[in-house]
Amino acid sequence: MIKRHGIVAAVERIVTNRADSSGFNALARMHLLDLAFEAVVLRHPENFSEAAVRLSRERLDASGVSAPPNVS
């Protein structure tokens, strides 16, 4: 997907998918959600759509992970 769409568009597609990705679930099991694409989106919201930012925040909040401190 990255080769076809580029990294930003691929991340956008992944985080706006309603289902959690296998990577998200694996990172959650290892308590490493700060490495998830959703966390990257919240650290760099200027590069992503409002929907991607909102859904990333919702998914991390639902998992009990707070947004990075530099994100309002």
The C-alpha angle with vertex 22 and arms to 9 and 48, in degrees rounded to 5, equals 25
How far is the C-alpha of 2 from the C-alpha of 46, rounded, in Å? 19
Please check the confidence at residue 68 and state whether its pLDDT lies above 80.
Answer: no
| Whole-structure pTM value | 0.83
pLDDT tens-digit series, residues 7-54: 899 999 999 988 878 889 899 999 999 999 999 999 999 999 999 999
